[in-house]
Each structure stands twice: as structure tokens, then as C-alpha cells.
Amino acid sequence: MALLKIEELYKHFPIHGGIFLREQGKASVINNISLEINEGEILGIVGESGCGKSTLARLVMRIYEPTAGKIYFGNTLIEEFPRKEYFHQVQMVFQDPFSSLNSKMTVDALLTEMLLLHQPSVNIQQTKTKLLEEVGLSSNALKKYPHEFSGGQRQRIAIAKALSANPTLLIADEPVSALDVSIQAQILNLLMDLQQQHQLSLLFISHDLEVVNYFCDRILVMYLGKIVEELPHQNLHSQACHPYTRALLQSIPHIDKKTEGLQTLRGEIPSPLDLPAGCGFYSRCPYRQEDCLAEAPPLLEELPQHKVACYHIT
């Protein structure tokens, strides 16, 4: 059953300029995205910086309002939920834990505030201690401020803060990209354990294909505000079809590629201020043909549970 459903979602940001800051155009960041997150599923979204991943997360979190399209939580439009009730169900872990935590509040105060808001009937002190234990920290952390912790510890606190609302959907936006590699593995394993323990659905956003492939049940590849491929994680290396997905895979460093050099894409990314009518990947695609310019390819099922938006799959 779908916990979260997105239908034909668009997000355009107005661009202002000139002396009177008049609107001079629109940046199309999300362009006709539809997807579902099932109960208990880890859905990964991957793509280059600027492809719209974080904007999509902020639309789900109601930080931004969509230009067009609908987002359902269960069978209800998210704007029909009171904000407090919605945020009891949906929480987010941001990329930078330091900026997402109030530097003037102790961990004790941060967790107490969230528990009083979302779970006022629980034993506050016991729940705070339990939350910290679940993320691998001792109760001694309660007396400290965010700046007294390392980056990995701050991210653990941010995860505990999100879990204090007892959500059913957790959005993790690049939660490990700012951390050391060894710490990344610890946080990923922690999130996986917590997802199973709390029976969470998880929307996991990253630019790292290998991390997403390790962590997620299903993978969506985004390019220029669109989903260009959707596939199960076990098929990523063997059955990736879209030229962009393949290019991302070929750009991953491996020891055996040391003498060959990494594969890179050529060509310019189209401007979100002036998107092409056809395929957005045309200017960088090695398999492009004239018909790609006429109309953007739809996302169609090519194999079971595997969708691709490309006219010329190789």
C-alpha cells in the first residue's frame, strides 16, 4: 500500500531582476514527477547536484508549495492535514546536522520540545534516554550543546530528534555526504536498523549511486527535474538502461579503472530557465537522434518493476 503518493508534480521558482525586481522568468526545478513510497519501503533518489532532489524533499515536507500537482499522504492531500498532525507523521533529517539543530538549546531541550509537541503522554525523561540509546549515544549527551559534538554525533542527535515525533515516514536528504567515509557507514547502518525497528518508510536522497544501491529497496534516477529511470536496487549494475544512469555508474572510481580513466559526460546541461521541448539529456547523450528533440520521452515500463524514459534504449 502506498504511504505517500505524488502525482504530476511541478515546482517553478520565479526569477526577479532589474531595478524594480520584476519577474523575468521562471526556473523549472521539478517537472512532472509522479511516484509512490510504499509502507515499510526504502526509496532512493539519486542524481547530480541541481537535479531537484532536495526540492522534491522540501515539497513533501511542505517547506515549499508546489506550482502544480498533488501530494497524498495515505489517501489525503497533505495540505488538508493540520501542520502539527502532518509533521507527527513525516519528519526529515537534513544534510547538515549543525544547521538543523538549534545551537542555543541543549540536546535535552531539543528532545523535550519535540516530545511535548508530538508525544506529550509519554514519560519524557525515559523516552529521551531511550532515543539517545537507539542512536548510539549515552544520556550524558543531554546536558551538551550541538557544537560540543562531532559531525557524526550531531547527525545521530538529528535522527533522534526526528524519531521523537514517532513518524511513519522519514526523509533523509543527503544525511551522510558531509561525514567521513567511516562515519558514513555507521550512520547508514544505524538508519537501516532504525527503519526496521520502527517500521518506517524512508525516502533516502543522495548523489552517490553506490550508497543508494546498498541502502535502498528501489531507486529513482533524476535528471533536470524529471525521473529518467526507476529500478530495483539489485538490478542497478546489471540492467541500468538510461544513458544518464550508465554514465553515473561509469563515473564511479574503481581500482581497475585507474589506468583507463573515468568516463565523463560531454556537453552542457540545459538551463532550467529554458528547458528544451524534447529530451533534457539530448545535449549530453551519446545515443541522441533527431526524434529526441521533438518530445520528452515518457517513463515507460521496459522490464518488470523497471521503467525508463528514453526512445533509444541500448
pLDDT score of 99: 86
Q: Which of 223, 257, 284 is the last residue of a domain?
A: 223
pLDDT score of 177: 85
Task: Quote the domain boundaries for residue 82.
Answer: 2-223
The mean per-residue pLDDT over the stretch 279-285 comes to 92
- Same domain for 275 and 153: no
pLDDT score of 265: 78
Task: Give the pLDDT band (50/70/90) at residue 36.
Answer: very high
How many domains does the chain contain in total? 2
8-state DSSP, 282: G
- Between 61 and 182, the more confident residue is 61
Q: What is the pLDDT of residues 145-191, one digit of tens each?
A: 999 999 999 999 999 999 999 999 999 999 988 788 889 999 999 99
Task: Give the pLDDT band (50/70/90) at residue 219.
Answer: very high
pLDDT score of 176: 87
Q: Which of 157, 191, 223 is the last residue of a domain?
A: 223
- Same domain for 287 and 176: no
Portion of the chain with pLDDT greater than 90, in percent: 69
- Same domain for 76 and 27: yes
> Measuring CA to CA, which residue among 51, 130, 225, 170 is closest to residue 141?
130
The mean per-residue pLDDT over the stretch 218-246 comes to 91
Q: Which of 165, 190, 223 is the last residue of a domain?
A: 223
- Same domain for 314 and 176: no
Taking phi first (over 0 means left), then psi (-120 to 50 degrees means alpha), and beta for anything else, what does residue 269 get? beta
- Same domain for 218 and 90: yes
pLDDT score of 252: 75
- Same domain for 153 and 8: yes
Name, in order, each residue with C-beta under 8 angstroms of 296's C-beta and a sequence gap of 6 or more: 226, 277, 278, 279, 280, 309
Greatest pairwise CA separation for the chain in angstroms? 65
